[in-house]
Structure 1
Amino acid sequence: MFGIDVRTARVVWTAALVLLGLYCIYTMRTTLLVMLFGVFFSYLVYPLFTLAQRACGLRVPRTLVLLVVFAAVASIIGLVGLLFGNQIVAEATNLGQQLPKLLQPGELERRLPLPAPLEPLRVRLGILLQHLLEGGTAQALPVVRGLGTSLFHAAGNLIYVVVVPIFSFLMILEAPWIESFLASLAQRPDGRLWSNVARGLNDVLSQYVRALALLVLATLVSYSVTLGLLGVPFTLLLAGLAAVLEIIPVFGPLIAALTIIAVAVFSGYGHVWWLVLFFAAYRIFQDYILNPWLMSEGVNVPAILVVFGLLAGDELAGVPGIFLSVPVIAALRMFAVQVRLHRAARLNAGGAAQG
């Protein structure tokens, strides 16, 4: 009547709704990030809750069992912090006090481990290393200031530390309702795809979060024991750093290994090659035995996509984007697989009906 094409109007309306949704997501990005970390925490706690519920049976209310489990998890975290937190802080303080002395040109030249053929180049290599460190320090200062600003901002929003476990508690408490909703959704012809997508997303995220937690724990224990036996200084601090960097695929373990070797060299540690052998052996065990065993086929992401996701995640959201890059790529991959399976099922159903 007014010369408006109905199909074009629908496309424009759909595009406007998508843009509005993206804008809302960007506006609420902090809240959504907190909720997402609550989901991740739920995947860590839920296996303990399942075991506790089986042990208690139906006699104990679900809410009471969940409260006991959360109290136990909080107690364990607090106990670990009391046992090792003070020592890690002391090691970090000690390293900070020794760094200015360790990075002096004379100290660098004296502590630099070199094979005999390169011994005549010790002075030149020491000067080159000093220039590299000075340039790296100048480039690192803005990053450190930005990190300090982020930490200050986070300290002013400590309410999120409370919101994450509360959201996780409520999510686990409402798990039966979520299951019944997905079951009812699967009964609808147009809802089977989204039900499968939701269940696949749950499988991917639960597998990834639990596997990542075990990998971090394995790194913390292995590095703590090995560095302690080898007599490397600042053992707990360096092991904790390696465990935290384990959440960053590809680059995290490499940065951790280089950092530990650098601290060991500048601290006068004399068995650096033992550290190199340990890192090589542990990465082979981690990447080819432990990681494939923990990660399912749906969670494993090709290396080229991992690198792309890390760079894109850093550009979009900084450190949280780096952390979320792999699960997001795995979720998108799972969604594409479910869409393909759904289309194949519809084609097979259509062919059977015609036959």
Structure 2
Amino acid sequence: MLGFDSRIARIVWTIFIVSLLLFLLYAARSTLLVVVFAIFFSYLVYPLIQLVERRRPARVPRTVSIALVFVVVITVLFIAGGMFGTKMVDEATRLGQKLPDLLNSSNDASQFPLPTFLEPMRERLLGLIRTQVQSGTKDALPWAQRVGLGVMHAASNLIYVVLIPVLSFLLIKEAPGIRSNILSWMPEPSRTLWLAITEDLDVLLSGYVRALLLLSMATLVCYSVAFGLMGVPYALLLAGIAAVLEFIPFVGPLAAVVLAVVVAGFSGYEHLLLLVGFILLYRLFQDYVLNPYLMSEGVEVSPLLVIVGLLVGEELGGVAGIFLSVPVMAAIKIILVRARASARAQPPSAIAASPGITGTMRVQEESRRRDS
């Protein structure tokens, strides 16, 4: 009617709604980030809740068992932070105080051990390393200041620290009912599609978050024990940094290796080849044995897309955007795959009535036949 194509109108309206939704999400990214971390925390503690509920007496409410698990987990986190966090802070303080001396060009270059075949190039290599580290240090100072201000801002808004476990508690308690209510509002085809999508996302996020946590813990334990036994300087600090960097695909573990070798070398550690050999063996074990086993239920994402996602995530959300880039891309892939499968499963009559180029003409022809 009036030359107005309803199919084009639906496409334009869909693009407008999606764009508006993305804009609102970006505008509320700070609040949304708290919710996302609460979801991740929920996936971390949910296996413990399932374990408790298997042994929960029938007369004990489910809310009580959930609250008990949260109290135990938060207590353990505080104890671990008090035991290891203080030592990490002390090592970071000592490293920061010694860093100018370690990077001083007048330092004796012989303190940095090198393999025999690289001895003739010692001065050139160490000069290059010093230049790059000093340049990186200068560039890192403004970034560190921004991070410090962010930490101070977060510390001054402790409400967020309290909100994350509270939101996690409510999500675990109320999420099944919320999902059922939302799905009940949808028509049958959409309900089936989004039920499958939510189930896939649940499996993806639960496996991804728990796998990352286990990989990070494995790195922390293995690095701290091995570095301590080998006498590596700042062992616990380097292990803690490597554990945190495990949450950044590809780039994070590589940065942890470079940081450990450079700090150990400039601190006068004499067994760099032993350190590098251990790190390589651990990376091979993690990348080809532990990681595939833990990530077996995940959705594969192209390494190119991962790197692009890391860059886009850093631009949009900073450090948090880097952490969230991979699960977001995997979630988008799940939605697209499910939507495509649902479209292919539609009967021919439904397909002819909507997505084809001549869909509008076919609908008009069918209406004329019914009128006649």
Aligned to 2:177: 177
Q: Tell which deviates more after alignment, 219-228 or 110-119.
A: 110-119
> Is 2:18 the counterpart of 1:5?
no
Q: Structure 2 vs 1, CA of residues 184 and 19 (structure 1 numbering), >3 Å: closer, same or farther?
A: closer
Q: Structure 2 vs 1, CA of residues 306 and 18 (structure 1 numbering), >3 Å: closer, same or farther?
A: closer
Question: Is the CA contact (8 Å cut-off) linking 2:183 and 2:195 kept in structure 1?
Answer: yes
The one-letter amino acid of 1:292's match is P
Aligned to 2:209: 209
Question: Is the CA contact (8 Å cut-off) linking 1:220 and 1:242 kept in structure 2?
Answer: yes
Aligned to 1:275: 275
When the two structures are aligned, how many residues end up with a matched partner?
350
Q: Please give the secondary structure, in 1, of the residue aligned with 2:190.
A: coil
Q: Following the alignment from structure 1 to structure 2, what is the Cα–Cα distance between the partners of residues 228 and 133?
A: 25
Aligned to 1:294: 294
Question: Is the CA contact (8 Å cut-off) linking 1:109 and 1:123 kept in structure 2?
Answer: yes
Aligned to 1:228: 228
Give 1:75-224 correspondences, 5 Å limit.
75-178=75-178, 180-181=180-181, 184=184, 188-224=188-224
Q: Please give the secondary structure, in 2, of the residue aligned with 1:91.
A: helix
Q: Tell which deviates more after alignment, 338-347 or 119-128.
A: 119-128
Q: Tell which deviates more after alignment, 248-257 or 8-17.
A: 8-17
Question: Is the CA contact (8 Å cut-off) linking 1:42 and 1:171 kept in structure 2?
Answer: yes
Q: Tell which deviates more after alignment, 53-62 or 17-26.
A: 17-26
Aligned to 1:334: 334
Question: Is the CA contact (8 Å cut-off) linking 2:103 and 2:134 kept in structure 1?
Answer: no
Aligned to 1:72: 72
Q: Tell which deviates more after alignment, 150-159 or 20-29.
A: 150-159
The Cα of 1:120 is off from its aligned counterpart by: 4.7
Question: Is the CA contact (8 Å cut-off) linking 1:186 and 1:195 kept in structure 2?
Answer: no
Question: Is the CA contact (8 Å cut-off) linking 1:49 and 1:66 kept in structure 2?
Answer: yes
Question: Is the CA contact (8 Å cut-off) linking 1:108 and 1:130 kept in structure 2?
Answer: no
Question: Is the CA contact (8 Å cut-off) linking 2:207 and 2:297 kept in structure 1?
Answer: no
Q: Report the TM-score when normalising by structure 2.
A: 0.86
The one-letter amino acid of 1:241's match is I
Q: Following the alignment from structure 1 to structure 2, what is the Cα–Cα distance between the partners of residues 282 and 115?
A: 21
Q: Following the alignment from structure 2 to structure 1, what is the Cα–Cα distance between the partners of residues 342 and 256?
A: 43
Q: Following the alignment from structure 2 to structure 1, what is the Cα–Cα distance between the partners of residues 173 and 116?
A: 65
The Cα of 1:175 is off from its aligned counterpart by: 3.6
Q: Following the alignment from structure 2 to structure 1, what is the Cα–Cα distance between the partners of residues 268 and 222?
A: 23
Q: Following the alignment from structure 1 to structure 2, what is the Cα–Cα distance between the partners of residues 188 and 223?
A: 52
Superposed CA deviations along residues 148-167 of structure 1, whole A, max 9, x for unmatched, are 23223322322111111111
- Identity over the aligned pairs, expressed in percent? 50
The Cα of 1:98 is off from its aligned counterpart by: 1.6
Q: Tell which deviates more after alignment, 118-127 or 189-198.
A: 118-127
Q: Structure 2 vs 1, CA of residues 18 and 335 (structure 1 numbering), >3 Å: closer, same or farther?
A: closer
The Cα of 1:107 is off from its aligned counterpart by: 2.1
Q: Following the alignment from structure 2 to structure 1, what is the Cα–Cα distance between the partners of residues 206 and 9?
A: 41
The one-letter amino acid of 1:5's match is F
Q: Structure 2 vs 1, CA of residues 148 and 208 (structure 1 numbering), >3 Å: closer, same or farther?
A: same
Aligned to 2:254: 254
Question: Is the CA contact (8 Å cut-off) linking 2:203 and 2:297 kept in structure 1?
Answer: no
The Cα of 1:121 is off from its aligned counterpart by: 4.4
The one-letter amino acid of 1:204's match is L
The Cα of 1:5 is off from its aligned counterpart by: 2.9
